[in-house]
Structure 1
Amino acid sequence: METPPPPPSPCTQVDPDLFFPKTDGEDPSLPTPAEQEALAVCAGCPLGAKAACLLKALDAAPAWHQWGVVGGATASQRKAILRRTAERRTAEYVAQLAEVA
């Protein structure tokens, strides 16, 4: 018996422009109303699909090139994730160097 295909992701059912709102210099640390609308659509996505979407966005571009709402996170949130990951990798590398010395 074949497994039926999963239902389409909520983001495929709305205008893609919803996920790339203009922020016009607003506080990047707080989601704008337009970003909140896009985040609400992402909230309806199954966790596995949302995680895969977020990982793809994080792998696809460096922190300075993140924009829009992808994988249930704003560009500012994804930049923070990438920054913390880079800091952790640097700390691990320094610790490894200290062990060798």
Structure 2
Amino acid sequence: MPSTPGTKRGDTAPRACANTDLALFFPAEDSPSYTKPNEQEHVAQAVCARCPLAAKTICLENALRLPAQDQWGVVGGATAAQRRTIIRGREAARMIGAAA
């Protein structure tokens, strides 16, 4: 199991969340709203905001490899609802590109 949200073994970038309880990033209930994260998601996003850009990007891209329906918690500074929106946008862009 990864030691911090969105990481894979072998990632070496420093992480703001390294000494933070993972339960903060994975609340019992995700906010369904893209624009209105719940209080716990806000706190987790604040931890992610302190992370170096490279580390946050690694976490987010690793999380975006999962299907939209498997998104949960805050990873790479984005809530599950925000990541689902990103994934759907990327899928739509691929479909448009394939049709062109």
TM-score range, shorter chain: 0.7 to 0.9
- The answer to which structure, 1 or 2, has the higher relative contact order (CA under 8 A, 6+ apart) is 2
* Aligned equivalent of 1:32, options 38, 49, 60: 38
Which secondary structure does the structure 2 equivalent of 1:54 belong to? helix
Cross-structure match for 1:94: 99
Moved over 6 A (4+): none
Structure 1 gaps of 5+ residues are 1-5, 96-101
Structure 1 or 2: more helix by fraction? 1
* 1:9 positional shift: 1.4
How much identity, in percent, do the aligned residues show? 48
Question: What TM-score do the two structures reach when normalised by structure 1?
Answer: 0.80
Q: Distance in 2 between matches of 1:7 and 1:92?
A: 33
Question: What TM-score do the two structures reach when normalised by structure 2?
Answer: 0.81
* 1:12 positional shift: 1.1
* 1:7 positional shift: 8.0
Q: CA RMSD in A?
A: 1.7
Contact residue 32 and residue 81 of structure 2 kept, 8 A: no
* Aligned equivalent of 1:65, options 70, 84, 97: 70
Question: May I ask how many residue pairs the two structures share in their alignment?
Answer: 88
